[in-house]
Amino acid sequence: MRDTAALAGPAPATWASRAIGEAAAAWVLCAPAGLALFALLLGPTAALLVLSFSDWELGAPELAWIGLGNYVELTTDPVFRIALRNTLIYVGVVMPASIGLGLGVALLVEGGSRLRATFRAIYFLPVVSLLVAMATAWQYLLHPTIGPVNRVLALLGISPINWLGSSDWVMVSLCMIGVWENLGFVVVLFMAGLTAIPRELYAAAELDGARSAMDRFRLVTWPLLGPTTLFVVTITAIRCLRVFDTVQALTRGGPNNASQVLLYAMYQEGFSYFRIGYSAAITVVFLAIVLLLMLVQTRILDRRVHYS
């Protein structure tokens, strides 16, 4: 009887206690990551949401709850409307231009057999450079009187343009700089996706009748670049939405708020005017736009890039 009991294994209570112990160990192991997630992400986000319903100013001893007052003010604030419009224009111009040019450059560089690493480093240089440090170069290039850009235009018979000082041209200038800033990042990502495509597929496509480079791109390259394209679109959209450093370094939102964007408006309200509650409301709207854009991109593109 004793041997039969030994072969039956541990009692149910022993198994239950072991399962509880494993669950407790799992929670203990997850606790540091969970605490870090709450302290660095969830906690500040919750505090931001709470502050957006108050009129707290930096340094004030107490705050008053005003409900949706900050959000109502946003609907009538002309500076916020300009910042929102400029941000959407910037994303709508810089994101597709960066992705289209980046894909073209990546195809050209990857198609060449020499100096591939050199061109990769050259195009990636704007990404690793401090844009604030590069602002001096851009101010010189776009200077209305001594800038090389206007000198070239003068040779073509075009009058000088005040690129950074004109309300009509400042957003055009920022978009050009934005494309320059994001181009190298997109090129490197697309080149990584191109190197992952097996060369045998191109040979097979050529045997099946895809003789031209356009046919091979349409039938092989573009479909297999789907996951890379989804990642590039998502990352580039986020980089464009959080444009701040170029505005801070070159225009400071001027002239006449013509280059105002959401993050710079949030910075001004919070750290220049010390209206933390109103700045928090702008930040909540910004985060909502980012989340909505990511959901739309995932819904539309994710179905096209994963195959079953």
pLDDT in tens, 62-92: 888 998 999 999 999 999 999 999 999 999 9
Residues 6+ apart with CB under 8 A from 281: 52, 70, 71, 73, 74
Q: Residue 297: what pLDDT?
A: 76
Question: Helix or strand or coil: residue 259?
Answer: coil
Q: Tell me which of 122 and 136 has the higher pLDDT.
A: 136
Asked if 281 and 74 touch (Cβ cutoff 8 Å), the reply is: yes
Alpha carbon 76 to its chain's center: 28
111 vs 104, residue with greater confidence: 104
What are the tokens at 123? Answer: 């195009």
- As a whole number, mean pLDDT of residues 144-170 equals 92
In this structure, what token pair is assigned to residue 20?
A: 């509880």
Instruction: Pull the structure tokens for residue 275.
Output: 């209206």
Contact 57, 275 (CB under 8 A): yes
pLDDT of residue 232: 92
Cα separation, 289 vs 83, in Å, equals 13
Task: Give the model's pLDDT for residue 305.
Answer: 62
pLDDT band, very low/low/confident/very high, at 308 (cuts 50, 70, 90): very low
Residue 135 has pLDDT above 80, yes or no: yes
Higher pLDDT, 121 or 32: 32
Instruction: Mean pLDDT check: name the lowest of 7-11, 18-22, 57-61, 123-127.
Output: 7-11
Report pLDDT for 84. 95
Provide the angle, in degrees to the nearest 10, between the axes of the packed helices 226-241 and 170-195: 150
Fold of domain 72-305: MetI-like fold (1.10.3720)
- Check residue 83 and give its pLDDT: 96
pLDDT at residue number 64: 85
pLDDT at 2 over 60: no
Quick: pLDDT tens for 198-234. Answer: 888 888 888 877 778 888 888 888 888 988 988 899 8
Per-residue pLDDT, averaged over 104-114, amounts to 79
Kind and range of the H or E run holding 100 = helix 78-111
Residue 265's nearest CA partner among 283, 250, 251, 277 is 283
CB-based contacts of 227: which residues, under 8 Å, 6+ apart?
Answer: 193, 305, 306
- pLDDT of amino acid 1: 45
Instruction: Give the tens place of pLDDT for each residue, 186-205.
Output: 998 998 898 888 888 888 88
The reported pLDDT for the residue numbered 57 is 86
User: What share of the chain in percent tops pLDDT 90?
Assistant: 43
